[in-house]
Amino acid sequence: MNRRIYLSVVCLLLSFIANAQQDPTILRGRVIDESRKPIVFASVWLEELELAAWTDTAGYFVFRANLEKATPLSLRISFVGKKTINRKVTPATFVNGQVFQMQDLSLTLDDVEVSARRLQASSNSSIIFGREAIEQLQAFSLAEILNQLPGKTATPPMLQNPQQITLRTQADGNYALANSLGTAIYIDGIRQSNDANMQNRSLSARGMSGSVLGSRSDGAFDVPFGGLDLRDIPVDNIESVEVVTGVASAQYGELTDGAIIINRQAGKTPYQLNTRINGGSTDVSLSKGFKLNNRLGALNISLGYLRSNKDPRDKIKSFDRVSLGMMWTTYLFKGVKNTFSFDYNTRLDDVKQDPDDDTEKMTYAKGRNLSITNRISIDVKSPFLRNISLNAGFSTGYQDTYSQWLLNGMPKGLADKDTTGIYEGRFIPGNYLAEERIIGKPVTFDGNLKMTASYRTGSIVHGLNYGMSMSVSANNGEGIVLQPDKPRWVGTGNQNVRPYNFDKLVPALVSYGFYAQDNFTMKVAGKRLVTGIGLRYDLQNGWGSIQPRINTRYILDKHWEVTLAYGVASKSPTLAHRYPAPAWLDIPLLSVYTGYENSSLFLVYTHKQETDNSRLKPSKSSQVELGVKYNNRFLNSSLFLYSKRNMNGFNSYSEFLPLTLPEYGYNYTPGQKPTYFPTGNYILYADVKRFVVTNGLRTENYGAEWILSTRKIPEINTSFTLSTAFSLSKYYNSNDRRMYMMDTAKIPKTGKALFGVYSREERQNWSLVSRISSDTHIPALGFVVSLAADIFWANERKVLGRGYRPTGYLDRMFRYHEIISFDPQNPDYGYLPPDPDAKEVNEDGVIITESMNSGQPLIYAIMSMRIAKEIKKKIRISISAYNVLNKRPSKFNEKTQKTDIYGSPLSVTAGISLKF
């Protein structure tokens, strides 16, 4: 068998070498502007083969590929500030050289894309936001752009709390967190990693959901365990955003649920000043692209500042963002393009102390980040290799989260030793300013090497991409910082906080990936088949995973095509999952407080339980997608059906660690410290527990996305778009054996069961949302009016059910016993109650409680509007309004006896853009 495989590989390589040595077809073109001057650094893309090129100092680009003269290709040319060219071409088009003239992007052009488009790019179902569509949205952050995706809905700017993206799921809680973690964000070819974020309290003590430090009034502001906070990504220097909700190319790793691919502006541009205001939020940015002398290329610089107050009247809660970016693009030598980027940004979520609050509560989460990236692309005139690209990005940051609260209570016994054993703790006063603080210094590196080649086997044209990637995550911060006399929590869940130094105790996390993808086009039954088939191998936390991926399109004629995609992907755990702080289990044995420290005694046992998540697997997903596209001179339509399964998602659950400890008595003499002694008896502390991280989350996602759009109708200068998305998610925690401890007073003498074990809980959420929009564009006036209505047809959340009776029990020795068929007369466990969470039981013995299920009781719509006016291609004035009619439907809820109000109030954003 091994010999056959070896011979097959050798034959395949010999075939590749023989075909690669064919004389390549030269595709040479030139890109110029409206004044017929060459455009330097324009991006040129052949979609079917996933081949890229850039124009040189004279505006020329070259592709070397083994193509037949009649091979149809989709060519895309883009450059900052210019209208993107999308054109169908053949190699014959380039026989005498082809010139492509780009127009300045302006509302005075006849055909301007002011909405997102579904295009064939990195996947069959990619959605691309061009520069004009981005400018129309007047977005404060990337989150508002992504709200335009099918299934998402418009919202007013939400800048006071973290915003994370989820794709193709309706699951919530930690399931949604896992989805956002698995949605990769690439900026200029570099993956933006949140893997080094450890801004959370002890996971062992609080679990994932309860460990994020925040404000009681405004929630949490850090995003450990999940994806990036989209508020940190400004949009004014973004040229395009591609969203891959389906199966990504094998080139992209560290993802399970899609990718967001961002390309920023590079090249000569005028000064551009943007400002926008919404309520208590103000955003200002300035950018410029300089053409440098001689062969130094171009330098792009951008500055941005955002200030947002939750309530301008008191300014207690605010969010600030400052960003600085610099990108230098040049040709080092002929055929060698290099781009160096430098970015620095700061952010601050600040909840100031309310002068009227006697508890002196205050919270902040601030950070700064410096990133340096370099991308080099080398054209190679070799029969085996056409291009080599090497991208590398380094990022280092500082994160500081702080919270305080003035406590006023009784003195407390505090356990603070770091080792296991019995010792005398100490008492601290009950009145003090309690503090919590976490300091992180995340460091990340992301690098990828990509090589491309083109060859032909018979009449089949291939574009081959292969390479490798590497990512490193570390955190050099002080970690959980503790003021010994100012703990915020004392004895909560039999645990107390200890310092945990990330720099000294948390090693780096390293992942590797290798991939190869063949993009080819061929004829099948006289029709064109375009396929990208790839294989990726990732090594994450010691686990290897093989990930096949395929995107294929069968073009039936010039109007119809069908698509099919299948892919497997994986995401490594983050540092916060992999290296949580140990659990210190503190059991008070004696607590004698006399009012004086010298005559008081606090005897405590501490058990230090180390964490070992070395066997934590990467999360994983598999997705199947089927699509149909139709296109004619008036209509564009696409329908995609998908089934996506997520496995091994990261979650935390309670693990009981029973402790049997000696009982102690004491003797007390007034004015002296009590003496203590063992009584000879032992006490079982059965409810002692910690939280552990597992691969327990499972989600099944099914859905359909339909987009129908028209070309602009000349008589009314208006185009229309209808999108509808149905999404259903079933999800459960496979490790979630819910355990409940019995009251020992209710356990009969013959009883063995100390804990009842109950089956997992399964949930299902689904929604149906539509958006109807119109874009009225009058080029002669440089004027655009966009109207959109989000229609909320249904949104339902329910518990599918769970077992009524216990499925097992733990005895006093904490051994598990399975209950196959519950017998209430069994003396060992018959006294165990029904599921303690139960409210009602149906005839099948399945628990369904009214409080578990919720549904949208009415159909309603929210209308938004955007208006933009351009003056002499230099000034653009924009106004956008969410819920422009200020209609908020309501419905009285019989269960809660309260009125539920849907949607948010009218929110208006005004902006102006100046080019000079």
Q: What is the pLDDT of residues 543-601, one digit of tens each?
A: 999 999 999 999 999 999 999 999 999 999 999 999 999 999 999 999 999 999 899 99
Q: What share of the chain is helix, strand, coil (3-state, %, to 5)?
A: 10, 55, 40
Q: Which residues contact 597 (CB under 8 A, 6 or more apart)?
A: 426, 427
Tokens for 23, please give them: 């004389």
Residues 6 and 58 in one domain: yes
> pLDDT at position 22, please?
55
Looking at 83, 104, 125, which one is the last position of a domain?
104
Residues 729 and 815 in one domain: no
Q: Assess whether pLDDT exceeds 90 at residue 247.
A: yes
Residues 711 and 755 in one domain: no
> pLDDT at position 868, please?
95
> pLDDT at position 735, please?
65
pTM of the model: 0.91
Q: Assess whether pLDDT exceeds 50 at residue 1.
A: no
Q: Which residues contact 36 (CB under 8 A, 6 or more apart)?
A: 101
> pLDDT at position 161, please?
94
> pLDDT at position 799, please?
81
Nearest to 153 by CA among 860, 625, 627, 899: 860
Position 737 confidence tier, pLDDT thresholds 50, 70, 90: low
> pLDDT at position 27, please?
83
Residue at 282: amino acid letter? T
Residue at 647: amino acid letter? M
Q: How far apart are CA 605 and CA 419, in angstroms?
A: 10
CB 349 within 8 A of CB 365: yes
Q: Assess whether pLDDT exceeds 70 at residue 24.
A: no
**What is the tens place of the pLDDT at every residue in 52-80?**
888 988 899 988 777 666 577 888 898 88
Residues 336 and 464 in one domain: yes
**What is the tens place of the pLDDT at every residue in 767-809?**
999 999 999 999 999 999 999 999 999 999 988 766 678 889 9
Residues 151 and 84 in one domain: no
CB 889 within 8 A of CB 860: yes
Position 732 confidence tier, pLDDT thresholds 50, 70, 90: confident
Could you tell me what percent of the chain has a pLDDT over 90?
66
Q: 3-state DSSP call for residue 150?
A: coil
Q: Which residues contact 615 (CB under 8 A, 6 or more apart)?
A: 542
Tokens for 773, please give them: 């929009």
Q: Is the dihedral of CA 254, 534, 128, 112 positive or negative?
A: positive
Residues 638 and 786 in one domain: no
Size (the chain), residues: 916
Residues 744 and 687 in one domain: no
- Give the residue-averaged pLDDT of 596-616: 93
Q: Assess whether pLDDT exceeds 80 at residue 910.
A: yes
Establish if 113 belongs to a structural domain: no
Residue at 409: amino acid letter? G
Establish if 553 belongs to a structural domain: yes
CB 908 within 8 A of CB 879: yes
Q: Which residues contact 16 (CB under 8 A, 6 or more apart)?
A: 455
Residue with tokens 């609260």: 405
Position 913 confidence tier, pLDDT thresholds 50, 70, 90: very high
Residues 7 and 39 in one domain: yes
CA–chain centroid gap for 575, Å, is 16
> pLDDT at position 70, please?
58
Position 850 confidence tier, pLDDT thresholds 50, 70, 90: very low
Tokens for 846, please give them: 């399945």
Establish if 252 belongs to a structural domain: yes
Q: Assess whether pLDDT exceeds 70 at residue 176.
A: yes
Establish if 206 belongs to a structural domain: yes
Establish if 481 belongs to a structural domain: yes
> pLDDT at position 802, please?
62
How does the average pLDDT of the chain come out, rounded? 90
Residues 725 and 871 in one domain: no
CA–chain centroid gap for 321, Å, is 20
How many Cα atoms within 13 Å fall on the side-chain side of residue 208?
Answer: 26
> pLDDT at position 111, please?
80
> pLDDT at position 847, please?
47
Phi, psi of 137 (to 5 degrees): -80, -20
Encode burial over 414-434: b for 16+ CB neighbours within 10 A, e otherwise: bbbbeeeebeebebbeeebeb
Q: How far apart are CA 500 and CA 798, in angstroms?
A: 40
Q: How far apart are CA 98 and CA 865, in angstroms?
A: 41
**DSSP type of residue 503:** H
Position 300 confidence tier, pLDDT thresholds 50, 70, 90: very high
Category of 851 on φ-ψ map: left (φ > 0), alpha (ψ -120 to 50) or beta: alpha
Q: Is the dihedral of CA 892, 895, 897, 898 positive or negative?
A: negative
**What is the tens place of the pLDDT at every residue in 414-466?**
999 999 999 999 999 999 999 999 999 999 999 999 999 888 888 888 889 99
Q: What is the CATH number of the domain that holds 45?
A: 2.60.40.1120
Residue 805: how many other CB atoms lie within 10 Å: 18
Q: Assess whether pLDDT exceeds 70 at residue 839.
A: no
CB 439 within 8 A of CB 399: yes
Q: 23-27, 632-636, 640-644 — which is least confidently predicted? A: 23-27
> pLDDT at position 346, please?
97
Position 687 confidence tier, pLDDT thresholds 50, 70, 90: confident
- Give the residue-averaged pLDDT of 116-133: 84
> pLDDT at position 15, please?
47
Looking at 712, 736, 760, which one is the last position of a domain?
736
**What is the tens place of the pLDDT at every residue in 852-906?**
567 889 999 999 999 999 999 899 999 999 999 999 999 988 877 889 999 999 9
Tokens for 108, please give them: 């005075």
**What is the tens place of the pLDDT at every residue in 470-527?**
999 999 999 999 888 899 999 888 999 999 999 999 999 999 999 999 999 899 998 9
Establish if 129 belongs to a structural domain: no
Full residue range of the structural domain in which residue 33 is found: 2-104
Could you tell me what percent of the chain has a pLDDT over 70?
94
Establish if 755 belongs to a structural domain: yes
- Give the residue-averaged pLDDT of 283-302: 91
Q: Is the dihedral of CA 739, 744, 747, 749 positive or negative?
A: positive
> pLDDT at position 864, please?
96
Q: Which residues contact 827 (CB under 8 A, 6 or more apart)?
A: 748, 750, 751
**DSSP type of residue 105:** P
Residues 637 and 757 in one domain: no
Looking at 736, 767, 798, which one is the last position of a domain?
736
Contacts 24+ apart (CB under 8 A), 825-828: 827/748, 827/750, 827/751, 828/750, 828/751, 828/752, 828/753
Residues 718 and 764 in one domain: no
Establish if 472 belongs to a structural domain: yes
> 174-181 and 203-210 helices cross at what angle (nearest 10)?
90
Residue at 115: amino acid letter? S
Residues 720 and 744 in one domain: no
Tokens for 582, please give them: 């140990």
Q: 3-state DSSP call for residue 67?
A: coil
- Give the residue-averaged pLDDT of 605-617: 93
Q: How far apart are CA 513 and CA 537, in angstroms?
A: 6
Total domains in the chain come to 3
Q: What is the CATH number of the domain that holds 692?
A: 2.40.170
Direct distance between the N- and C-terminal alpha carbons of the chain, in angstroms, rounded to an integer: 69
Nearest to 692 by CA among 325, 218, 309, 211: 211
Strongest mean pLDDT among 117-121, 403-407, 831-835? 403-407
CB 178 within 8 A of CB 258: no
- Give the residue-averaged pLDDT of 217-235: 93
Q: How far apart are CA 727 and CA 149, in angstroms?
A: 13
